[in-house]
Structure 1
Amino acid sequence: MAFGGGARASLCALVAASALLLGAPAVGATAATTIAVSPALEPIETVEPEPADETEPPESPLPTPTPTPTGTAEPTGSPEPETSAPTEPPETEEPTPTPTPAEEPTPTPSESPVPTQVPAVPPAAATATTSVWSWIIAAVVLVVAAGILVVARRRSEDEDVAEAAVPAASDAPKTALESAARTAATQAAMEEIGEAMTDAGYSVATVRETLEDVARANNLVGAEIIVFPTALLVSSRGDGPSGTGAVSSGEHDLLLHQVDELQGVVDDARAGIVDPAEIRARIARMRAARPPYSPVQRGAGYVLVSAGLSVLLGASWTGVVFAALLGAAVGTALLAGERLAGRYRALLSVGIAFGVALVVLLGLRLGLDSGVLPALIAPLVVLLPGALLTVGSIELATGQMVSGAGRLAAGAMQLVLLAIGIVAAGALVGIPSLEVAPSSTGLGVVAPWIAVALFGVGIVVYKCANRASLGWILVVLYVAYGAQVLGAVFFGGVLSALIGALVAMPVAVLVARRPHGPSALVSFMPAFWLLVPGALGLVGVASVLGGDAGGSASLITTTATVVGISLGVLAGTAVSSRLGRPVL
């Protein structure tokens, strides 16, 4: 096929341009064609390595796509990723040391909230919930009791003058106790006295002091005495061979009429006016004495104790009825279990607590008001180890570590036993949601003062105090409760027990100086149960065993209450020490 001259010239130009782009001269091209195309291809040779010049040959679109991938792939791929990868990793390690010095100046602003943490605490009188009439009644009761004690004190001073010459007649029997037989008899009498005093609930310091006075009054020189709550060791050294006696004690509790008789024996033995054989005979008669009240009367007395204490704890009328009924049942069970051994008494305590809690919680389940709740504590008042914890605290404060720790451990165990019964009853029937308001009783302002009299009469009958002791016991109870009410106004609820014990102790000692007055322990023991140091602790232990962490606050309050009563007893003993009669 023949081409024209123009077509042939254009074809030769395309071949020459392709040869120049590929770097080889065109075969069969004339010199004229190369010269004619060269001016148009010179700028392409200078811009060959740059990828941007590939866009210039728009006039010939067919050969341009083939050479472009070969020249552009070499410079673009390899050098660019090598420089970026190794430079950036070390820069990440730089921010690690910077945050530590930057946080050092932070403790400076923490000093500012320190003064704001001290809240303003108003006086206890400003926040007291006790009514004004209760203050007035408490003040009147204390004034009347003070007048009675002043009159009794003047009469007792006149009688002490007549009794001052009695110890002079005791010189003769003292000189006759130098033989070995008399030494053995004196040691046996000391063992009987120590065992009886431990059963009565005296502290080991009081028992030891009393036995030392008895040994001194009977010319028993060099006697060594070791007293524990459950054991007594007496070692005597006379003209003959020395002997040591060991007696177990604390296993048989004494009633109040027995404690009163024992105090008379102790006073005579300390003065040295009775024979050792007579001491042992009187103690034996004291232990064998029948109670002045029948079991039915004692059960009725426990009903009064439970009902009166429920009023003092803030019960409603329904709660008082519940407490009286439960008091009858608990009193019957306690009277039936007086002759049980110690291991069975522990089970009896758990069973009584379980039964009382079961009845009260079922009543709350049936929709009764929260005023029934004090009926949970009032029937258990005699089982509460208030006196045990207080005497243990006194012994610890006076250096008797073994006895004090033992009594505190026994008291804590008694609380745990009672709390286990309450927790078991709560787990069986459940505990409903309650809103217990303090002082929610609607019984009136005079009701607590009437309840004190009911409590006093009931405790005298149930614990079998002498009938002549009833009036004096009521005086001590009213003084203790009145002082506690006023102490709660000015010092708060925890220290109110301290004030009550501090005031009641000298009053009990003054009452004991009366010819027909009860011993200090007999008139003061009901005040222990009135102040109820173990009631708060029972609720706290039950709360802790039930999984309530808030019960620990109640345990702390109980500890402070027990310590407060102990300090009050110690202070009251220091005030009345010159009267010469042991109280605890």
Structure 2
Amino acid sequence: MEARPTSLSRHHPQHRPATRGRGALSRSLYGATRKAAGSMDRWLRRVGPGAVAPAEQAPPPEEPPISADLLDLLRHMGVALIRSGETTGRVKDILDELARRYEATEVHFFVLPTGVFVRVQDSRGSAMDLLEADSDTLRLDQIAALYELIDRITSELPPPAEATAALEDILASPQPTPVWRLLTGNVVLTVGLGLMLNPTSTALLGYIVLGLAVQLLIMAADRFRLLYTSLPVLAGAVVTLLSFGFPNALGGGNPSQLLIPSVSSLLPGAMLTNGSIELATGSMIAGASRTIYGFNKLVLLAFGVLVGLQLLGPLPTVSPQAGHGLGWWTPILGVLLIGLGHSRRASAPPRSLGWLLIVLYAAFCGQQLGTQLGGGLLGSFLGGMVAVPVAYLVQRFKDAPPTQVVFLPAFWMLVPGGMSLSGISALVTENDPNGLHILVTAVLTVLAIALGVLVGSGLVTSTREPRLQGMVEDWLGPGTETQRTTGSSEPGSASQSSQ
């Protein structure tokens, strides 16, 4: 019997349908892919067990080593301290103390005049956050409230969120001083500085008019940002136009004597001094940025003086009038007016004027003594050195403001930037090749004040063992409730630690 090829022919490749051939090939590729994937999974489990762990077996997220509220408080507190006029080293010391009070030990700070970097580190790694700082300086009442808040945090340890809210209220507080007191405050400040530099009766009217004009420009700049940026140039030009445009009526024939007292509220004396302190203590980035910022502001003021002179054109020759000296007491009265005017225009807290004047007169006496013994540079050194211990002693008394509140106005009296402006103006307007010595003297004056502040800070306390502080406590008794934890530290030192 002959075989039937029909049944065999169905399995022969030549007789298989095309669609079935493609399906078998797909199934073969699918199976090979699954085997390869299974082999890869087994290999990954051997070399890295956590790499392919199921989502349900992943460990829960770990809590950060520091709470978000505390991190927010430290950042905002650092920025507020920068705006209060503290050096970067002092800001770091206060933040370290606050972090330790909240038992946060693995927190590190990098402080610059333009912002604060906060780094948190533990065994799991590290994280960093930052907050930019505004260039505006806080009012004296805000500075006093800030240090009172720091003392409260140190003693009571409120929740960080509550402390941050209190800090925000301080920074957002409205101006407590009415407009008329701001205007009169700057006028009194200008007259006081004028009595120290040029105590003649013929210049009094000029001090009053120019002090009023500059304060009006400052208040207008607070409302218009563009005007704020160009304020140094505009103020220099306006003061020059008024001084040299009416030389006999306002300056008694000496219009150049009006320039420095008129723009005293714009001089970056504290900025230059803090920058010199930071450079001397190794904070190179912070010190260089402050110093460059301060000298740039002086250059802008001098440029404004040049603009005013260019607008006036050729100046007629003016003979100085014979001014009447007001007597030996005029510098002493000038110090009083400086304290009164600065306390008004900077909104000093109530009952702080007397304490502020104590520090001002102490710095003035040190400055006068040094000037009589060795000249202006020694006077600047002794003035800065005396102001720090006296500010420390003042804050020990009941109801006395924090050290920074009574110490900052001393910069206004020592005027570290005044000679710099006069030197730059002389170089710009007179084309004097020998005028460079004025700039050198100005730089040395700033360094002398900074060195005096550093020496005064070392007399009050040091990183190893208190010296003058121990003597003071022996005389006055141990610290009581009137002694502050942070306000008792001396200003200006980069190696200070919170008390």
Pairing partner for 1:186 from 32, 47, 70: 70
Find out whether 1:243 has 2:151 as its counterpart: no
Residue among 123, 126, 136 paired with 1:252: 136
Q: How many Å separate the matches in 2 of 1:355 and 1:385?
A: 19
- Gaps in structure 1 of 5+ consecutive residues: 1-177
Q: In the superposition, relative to structure 1, how do residues 367 and 261 fare at CA in structure 2: closer, same or farther (>3 Å)? A: closer
Please give the secondary structure, in 2, of the residue aligned with 1:247: strand
Match of 1:233 in 2: 117
- SS of 1:244's equivalent in the other structure is strand
Alignment of 1:142-161 (within 5 A): none
Residue 539 of structure 1, aligned match among 412, 417, 422 = 422
CA distance in 2, matches of 1:558, 1:246: 36
1:195 maps to what in 2? 79
2:194 aligns with one of 304, 310, 325: 310
Change (3 A) 1:370 1:312: farther
Distance 1:211 1:383 in 2: 30
Q: How does 1:269-288 map to 2 (within 5 A)?
A: 269-271=153-155, 273-288=157-172
CA distance in 1, matches of 2:269, 2:320: 24
Q: Specify the alignment match of 2:38 in structure 1.
A: none
DSSP-derived class of the 1:382 partner:
helix
Query: Judging changes above 3 Å, is the alpha-carbon distance between structure 1 residues 499 and 238 closer, same or farther for their aligned structure 2 residues?
Result: same
Structure-to-structure mapping, 1:322-471, within 5 angstroms: 322-341=206-225, 344-364=227-247, 369-429=252-312, 430-431=314-315, 442-471=325-354
Tell me: CA distance 1:476–1:428, structure 2 relative to 1, closer, same or farther (3 Å).
Answer: same
Q: Which structure 2 segments of 5+ residues have no match?
A: 1-61, 470-487, 493-499
Shift of 1:372: 4.7
Quick one: distance in 2 between partners of 1:388 and 1:435? 37
Q: Deviations over 1:68-88 (max 9, x none)?
A: xxxxxxxxxxxxxxxxxxxxx
Partner of 1:526: 409
Contact 2:247 2:255 in 1 (8 A): yes
Matched, 1:224 2:95: no
2: distance between equivalents of 1:385 and 1:432? 32
Q: CA offsets per residue over residues 492-544 of structure 1, 9 Å max, x none? A: 01221111111111111111222311121111111101111111110111122
In the alignment, structure 1 residue 581 sits paired with structure 2 residue 483: no
Conservation of the 8 A alpha-carbon contact between 2:83 and 2:137: yes
Partner deviation per Cα, 1:214-248 (whole Å, 9 max, x = no partner) = 11111112212111110211012368874321100
- How far 1:340 moved relative to its partner? 3.9
Query: Is contact 2:252-2:320 (8 Å) kept?
Result: no
1:433 and 1:553, CA in 2 relative to 1: closer, same or farther beyond 3 A? farther
Supply the distance in 2 between the matched residues of 1:475 and 1:190 (Cα, whole angstroms): 33
Return the offset for 1:402. 0.6
Partner residue of 1:515 out of 398, 412, 415: 398
**CA 1:568–1:378 in 2, change beyond 3 Å: closer, same or farther?**
same
1:267-309 CA deviation, whole Å, 9 max, x = no partner?
A: 3334563331222022111112223311111111111011111
Contact 2:391 2:490 survives alignment (8 Å):
no
User: Structure 2 CA distance, aligned partners of 1:366 and 1:531?
Assistant: 28
Shift of the alpha carbon at 1:332?
A: 1.5
Identity of aligned residues (%): 32
Partner residue of 1:559 out of 443, 446, 452: 443
Q: Determine if contact 1:180/1:238 at 8 Å carries over to the other structure.
A: no
Question: Structure 2 matches for 1:94-173, cutoff 5 A?
Answer: none
Q: Residues 262, 231 of structure 1: CA spacing in aligned structure 2 closer, same or farther, 3 A cutoff?
A: same
| One-letter identity of the residue aligned with 1:558 | A
Name the CA shift for 1:369/1:311 in 2 (closer, same or farther; >3 Å): same
Q: Number of residue pairs matched?
A: 405
Q: Distance in 2 between matches of 1:467 and 1:366?
A: 38
> What letter is aligned with 1:308?
G
2:447 alignment partner AA:
V
Please give the alpha-carbon distance, in whole angstroms, between the structure 2 residues aligned to 1:233 and 1:533: 30
- TM-score in terms of structure 2 length: 0.76
Structure with bigger gyration radius: 1
Stretch moving more, 523-532 or 573-582: 573-582
Alignment RMSD (CA, Å):
2.5
1:377 offset after TM fit, Å? 1.3
Distance 1:539 1:431, change over 3 A: farther
Q: Tell me the equivalent position of 1:32.
A: none
The offset of 1:436, in angstroms, is 8.5
Q: What is the deviation of 1:466?
A: 0.9
Distance in 2 between the 1:240 and 1:180 partners? 9
Q: Which amino acid aligns with 2:489?
A: R
1:218 and 1:272 in contact (8 A); partners too: no
Q: Does structure 2 retain, via aligned residues, the 8 Å contact 1:512–1:520?
A: yes
1:467 counterpart SS class: coil
1:480 to 363, 378, 395: 363
How far apart are 1:450 and its partner, in Å?
1.3
Q: Supply the distance in 1 between the matched residues of 2:223 and 2:78 (Cα, whole angstroms).
A: 22
- Matched residue type, 2:192: G
Partner AA of 2:409 in structure 1: P
**What's the CA shift for 1:263?**
1.2
Q: Measure how far apart 1:254 and its partner are.
A: 0.8
Does the aligned pair in 2 maintain the 1:210–1:270 contact within 8 Å? no
Amino acid at match of 1:457: L
For 1:356, the aligned partner's letter is V
Letter in 1 for 2:389: P
Amino acid aligned to 1:565: I
Change (3 A) 1:239 1:264: farther
Task: Mark the CA change 1:436 to 1:248 in structure 2 (over 3 Å): closer, same or farther.
Answer: farther
After TM superposition, list the pairs within 5 Å mapping 1:293-304 onto structure 2.
293-304=177-188
Separation (CA, whole Å) in 2 of partners of 1:516 and 1:446: 30
Query: How far does the alpha carbon of each residue in 1:63-104 deviate from its partner, in whole angstroms, 9 at most, with x for none?
Result: xxxxxxxxxxxxxxxxxxxxxxxxxxxxxxxxxxxxxxxxxx
Pick 1 or 2: higher relative contact order, CA cutoff 8 A, min separation 6.
2
Q: 1:267 to 1:366 in 2, by over 3 A?
A: closer
